[in-house]
Amino acid sequence: MKKFFLTLCIVLGVLQLSAQQADYGKMSSMVRQIARQGHRHVSAPARLHTPASPQLCALVRISGDGGKVLREHGCEELAREDDIYIAAIPLNRLSALSLDHRVDRIEAGPSAKIQNDSAAVCINVLPVYEGRNLPQAYTGKGVVVGVEDIGFDLTHPTFYDSTGTHYRIKRFWDQLSIDTLDYKLFVGRDYTTEEEILAVAHSRDGLAEGHGTHTLGSAAGSGAGSKWRGMAYESDICAVSNFAGAEDYKLIDEENYYKYTYATDVLGFKYIFDYARSQGMPCVVSFSEGGGQDLRGDDILYNEMIRRITGQGRIFVASAGNEGSKQRYLHKTKGETSAGAFIENGGTVASFTLQSRQKFDLRLVGYDTTNDTLTLSSDMLAAYTDEMFTDTIETSNRKYAIDIASFSSCYIDGAQAFDVYVTSASRIEGGRVSVEVMGETADVELFVTSGKLNTNSRNPLLNRGEKGYSILSPGSTPAAICVGASAYREKFENYKGRTVSSSDGRDGVRAGWSSIGPTFDGRIKPDVMAPGSNVVSSWSSFFLENNPQNDSKDVEHFDWNGRTYAWRAESGTSMSAPIVAGAIALWLQAQPLLSPEDILGVLSRTCKHYDESLTYPNNEYGYGEIDVYAGLLDVLTLTGIKGLSRHQPERIAFSLSGRRLSLVADGEPLGTVRVAVYAVSGKLLRRYRLSGGDTSVDLSGLPAGVYAVQVDASSAALTGSTLIRLQ
C-alpha cells in the first residue's frame, strides 16, 4: 500500500481531498501537502471572525502585477518585497493559484521552536558580564531592539529605564491575541501606546511561557536597579509574540493552524523593521527560534525575504540551535561497501534525508527478539516523485511505518535526494532501528532532521554517526548573524540558597549542545559566539504566579508595583542571540548604517578566540566570541590610534560626573598612571599623570561628544582604554 505522509501535518488529522489538480512543482513540502489533501471543516469555538475557507500564510513569488494576481485568486497581500509577497491564501484557492503561469513559487513551512536547553541547569553568569563591562559611551539610545519570541511579561521593570519611570516598549504585536475586533493585521493585534501595552500586561501565552521575557531582558533590559542589566539598556523596544509550535498549539483553533507558518514569522520581523524605519532609527531583530534545514529548497523564498528586509541599519540575528552534541551526519564515500548507524528520537517520529549522484541501496532494520529488514534501491525510490513510498518494519513487539519521498537535491546538480520518516506508536529508543547505505560506487550523505544517530551492541559495525550539520533555520540563512553559545561558570546559588551545578563548560569554551556547521550547502556557521550557558535575565511574573513550583532556576525574587518578579538563569543559544543583538545595537548607535556584511567584517577583526590553534572562522566558533568593546573601537575606526588599547582595564571602574572622570581601582592601588584623551578622529587632546593618591582628571573645556580614554599603568590589570560621552 502506498500513501502520502508528512510528519508536519500529523496534528491536523484527516483532510478532504481537493478536486482540483495543482502544480506541485511550484510548492514547498508543507504547501504541497495542504494542496493534495485540501482543507477540512472543523468544529471550533466561536470566534469574532471565521473565514469561509481556512487560510494559509505563505511566501509567493509572482511575475508582473502580483497584487492583481493575488486578488484574482481571492488572496490577500500582507507584505511585499519586490516580486516576493507574503499572502493569505484561502486553502480552496491554493491549487488554482499554483496553476497561474505568473506564479513562480509558493512556500511555507512550520513555525520555528524556541532554542533554550531545558536539560541545562543554572549557574551565575554575572562574572561573565562583569568581565565585559559595557562601554559608557553607548547604551543603545536611538536604536530599536526588536525581539520576536513567546512568553512576554510586558510589565517587568527591566523594560523601563534605570529609574523605573520611562517605559521603553514602543510597539507590541501579539500574533495569538483574540482581541481582534476592528484590527486588520492578518493574525492577532498590535498595541501602539504605553497605556495599551501595560493594560494587556502579557502575551496571550504569558501565563505558561516566559522565554521572551528572558531574551528581551538580555538584549535590552535596564536591570531595574539590579546587576542583571541587558546589553542595549537605553534602546527603544519593539516586540512580537509569535506562534512557536507545540508551546502554543493549545491557544489556537485548528482551522487557523495554517495561518502560523514561517511566512507569518517574517511578517513579524518586517513589522519591527518597518516601525524602526517610521521612526528614522536603525534596528536589530533577535530571533531565538529555529527549525530544520532541508535538501528540497523549502526555504528559498524564506531566505530571500530575510535578505531583502535586512540591509544598512537593519540587522537580523538568529540562534544556531542546541543540537551540537548529537550525531546528525553520516557520510559513505566511494569505495566503501556500506556505512550505517542506529537512529533514535525522544518522540514517535525520527527522520533523515539522503543525497547522492550515484545509485545506492538503503537498508532499514528493526530489532527485537525477532528482527525485520527492509532493503530499498535508490532507483526504485526515485520513481516516487509526486507521492511517498510507504512500507513497514515489524519486529516481535513493534511496528514502524517507513515513508520515503524522492526529489532532486537543491544543492548538488544531478543528485537525487530522499526524505525518510520512521514512525512508531511509541518512542523510538536507541538500539531499535538502524539505517545503512550500501553500494561501493556511491558517495552518499545522510543528514538527520529529527532525532540523532548512535551506536549499539546489536550491530557494532554500524558506528558511523558524526557531529555537525546541526545549524537550524533561519540561523542558517546567509543574511542572518548566526549565534552559538559559549560557557563559563559551572555553579550558582538559587534564591532558596541551593547550589546548582552544570557541566556545560567554562572559560568561554563552546557549550557542547551549541549547534555546529556547516550548513547543508557547505557554508560556515555559526558566525559568532556569546554566553549562553546559565545566563541570568528577567523572568515573567505571570509565569511565576501560575507556575509557583517551577522556580528552581530563579536566582532572585523581588516585588514591584504589587507583583513579584524574578531574575532567572536559562541556557541555550536562545540566550546567546539577544546578547549579540544588544551588542550590535550599541554598534548601530555608533554607526547607524552598518549592514549585515559590515557586522561580519567587525566580527572577523575583533572577536576573541577560545582556542588560538584553530583557524577562524570555523564551524564550531564562527569568528569567535563577540567582544563588544573591541567591536565599538573598530566601528568608530579608533583601532588605528597608536597607543590605544583594544581592551578595557580589568580592574578599573570609570565614573563620570560632569567634566570630571574618576578612576577606581579594584583589588590593588592605582599607583602612578598616565591618562590620554583622544577625539574619535584620532587626535590626541589631553595628557595627564596621576600619582600620590590622585584618582580623577578634569575634562573641562572639552565639548560634548564621545572620547577615547587610554590608561597606562605598571600593572596590566590597570592598563587599557574606555569610551566616555560628555553631555
User: How far is the C-alpha of 711 from the C-alpha of 691, rounded, in Å?
Assistant: 13
pLDDT of residue 230: 92
**% residues pLDDT > 70 (the chain):** 91
Query: For 684-708, how does the pLDDT look when each residue is reduced to its tens digit (9 = 90+)?
Result: 999 999 998 889 999 999 999 999 9
If pLDDT is split at 50, 70 and 90, which confidence band does 42 have?
Answer: very low
pLDDT of residue 247: 62
Return the ∠ at Cα 536 (arms to 531 and 542), rounded to 5°: 135
**Which cell goes with 171?**
510597539
pLDDT: which is higher, 470 or 494: 470
Query: For 51-108, how does the pLDDT look when each residue is reduced to its tens digit (9 = 90+)?
Result: 457 999 999 999 999 999 999 999 999 999 999 999 999 999 999 999 999 999 999 9
Residue among 192, 277, 272 at smallest CA distance from 239: 272
Query: For 438-466, how does the pLDDT look when each residue is reduced to its tens digit (9 = 90+)?
Result: 999 999 999 999 999 999 999 999 999 99
Decide: 515 and 321 in contact? Cβ < 8 Å: yes
If pLDDT is split at 50, 70 and 90, which confidence band does 126 have?
Answer: very low
Handedness of CA 438, 442, 448, 449 (dihedral sign): negative
Count of CA atoms in the C-beta half-sphere (13 A) of 334: 6
User: How far is the C-alpha of 361 from the C-alpha of 380, rounded, in Å?
Assistant: 10
Residue 457 burial (C-beta neighbours within 10 Å; 0-12, 13-18, 19+): exposed
Element (H, E) at 126: helix 126-130
Biggest alpha carbon–alpha carbon distance for the chain: 90
Residue 532 burial (C-beta neighbours within 10 Å; 0-12, 13-18, 19+): buried
Q: Is the pLDDT of residue 9 over 50?
A: no
Residue among 662, 663, 629 at smallest CA distance from 645: 629
Decide: 122 and 570 in contact? Cβ < 8 Å: yes
User: How far is the C-alpha of 226 from the C-alpha of 160, rounded, in Å?
Assistant: 13
Decide: 107 and 300 in contact? Cβ < 8 Å: yes
Decide: 223 and 229 in contact? Cβ < 8 Å: yes
If pLDDT is split at 50, 70 and 90, which confidence band does 111 have?
Answer: confident
Please give the average per-residue pLDDT across 387-394, as a whole number: 91
Q: Is the pLDDT of residue 646 over 60?
A: yes
Residue 703 burial (C-beta neighbours within 10 Å; 0-12, 13-18, 19+): exposed
pLDDT of residue 669: 83
Q: Is the pLDDT of residue 10 over 60?
A: no
User: How far is the C-alpha of 403 from the C-alpha of 388, rounded, in Å?
Assistant: 6
**Which cell goes with 40?**
477540512
- Reported in sequence order, the residue ranges of 179-335 that DSSP labels E, i.e. its strands, are 189-191, 236-241, 283-287, 289-290, 314-319, 327-332
Q: Is the pLDDT of residue 280 over 80?
A: yes
User: How far is the C-alpha of 644 from the C-alpha of 468, rounded, in Å?
Assistant: 40
Q: Is the pLDDT of residue 585 over 90?
A: yes
Q: Is the pLDDT of residue 129 over 70?
A: no
What is the phi/psi pair of residue 146, to 5°? -110, 140
Q: What angle in degrees, to the nearest 10, is found between the helix axes of 596-606 and 628-635?
A: 120
Q: Is the pLDDT of residue 715 over 50?
A: yes
pLDDT: which is higher, 32 or 447: 447
Query: For 218-251, how does the pLDDT look when each residue is reduced to its tens digit (9 = 90+)?
Result: 999 999 988 889 999 999 999 999 998 666 788 8
**Which cell goes with 337?**
561497501
Please give the average per-residue pLDDT across 389-411, as a whole number: 94
- Residue type at position 200: V
If pLDDT is split at 50, 70 and 90, which confidence band does 399 have?
Answer: very high
Q: Is the peptide bond before 649 cis (omega within 30 degrees of 0)?
A: no
Q: Is the pLDDT of residue 119 over 50?
A: no
User: How far is the C-alpha of 584 from the C-alpha of 578, rounded, in Å?
Assistant: 10
The chain-wide mean pLDDT, for the chain, equals 89
pLDDT: which is higher, 720 or 7: 720
What is the per-residue burial (b if ≥16 Cβ within 10 Å, else e) of 393-420? bebeebebbbbbbbbbbbbbeebbbbbb
